[in-house]
């Protein structure tokens, strides 16, 4: 027998560990009622090598979801109830859902307490983070800042606008120098 045939078999190549990323979903809507999330969230997680897991509102103990994920995205969507931060109702407030607010507030608090789980808060998600940390919001931005930045084009269609990234920030270190578009 040749020496090569006596050597130990080579172990199979190990598959890379999967990173599950929790993504909070929009509130219940439609007939029959369903939870939804724009495909852009799912596609972005997949492009980054993760596996998206949708977290719909209503989970009675949101903190118990965090051990199953390596990261969390608190998604955009409808408005937060102004009562939750001492704001006043405005005719522009839309898609308020107490169930979603309560779920994402608890989920965000749990993620802040669990420093193992990185969290990305997008649009509404950033507002949730702000309120959870004791902040307030302007209910209707044009009343405070005019129309310099179009936040939504009627009827509630997303719009794009330039952003500035502080050159000394961690985000700039990750993305490199960028020029607003």
157: in domain: no
Whole-number average pLDDT of the chain: 86
SS3 assignment for 79-117:
CCCHHHHCCCCCCCCCCCCHHHHHHHHHHHHHHHHCCCC
Percent of the chain with pLDDT over 70: 82
- What is the extent of the structural domain holding 113? 17-140
Higher pLDDT, 111 or 174: 111
| Global pTM value | 0.80
Quick one: pLDDT at residue 80?
Answer: 96
Contacts (Cβ under 8 Å, ≥6 apart) of 105:
84, 128, 131, 132
Res. 2 pLDDT band, cuts 50 70 90: very low
93: in domain: yes
43: in domain: yes
102: in domain: yes
- CB-based contact 92:152 (threshold 8 Å): no
> Into how many domains does the chain fold?
1
Order of strands across the sheet that contains 50-55: 50-55, 19-24, 71-74, 119-121
SS3 assignment for 148-166:
CCCCEECCCEECCCCCCCC
pLDDT in tens, 63-121: 999 999 999 999 999 999 999 999 999 998 889 999 999 999 999 999 999 999 999 99
CATH of the domain at 80: 3.40.50.880
149: in domain: no
pLDDT in tens, 14-34: 566 889 999 999 999 999 999
Res. 176 pLDDT band, cuts 50 70 90: confident
């Amino acid at each position: 027998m040749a020496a090569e045939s006596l050597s130990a078999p080579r172990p199979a190549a190990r598959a890379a560990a999967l990173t599950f990323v929790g993504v909070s979903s929009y509130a219940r809507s439609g007939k029959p009622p369903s939870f939804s999330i724009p495909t852009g969230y799912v596609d972005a997680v997949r492009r980054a090598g993760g596996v998206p897991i949708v977290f719909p509102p209503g989970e009675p103990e949101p903190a118990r979801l965090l051990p199953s994920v390596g990261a969390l995205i608190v998604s955009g969507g409808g408005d937060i109830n102004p009562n939750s931060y001492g704001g006043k109702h405005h005719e522009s407030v839309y898609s308020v859902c107490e169930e979603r607010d309560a779920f994402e507030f608890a989920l965000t608090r749990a993620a802040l307490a669990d420093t193992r789980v990185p969290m990305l808060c997008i649009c509404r998600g950033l507002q949730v983070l702000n309120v959870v940390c004791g902040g307030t919001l302007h209910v209707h931005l044009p009343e405070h800042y005019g129309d310099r930045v179009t936040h939504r084009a009627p009827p509630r269609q997303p719009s794009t606008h330039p952003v500035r990234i502080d050159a000394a920030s961690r985000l700039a270190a990750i993305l490199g120098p960028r020029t607003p578009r």
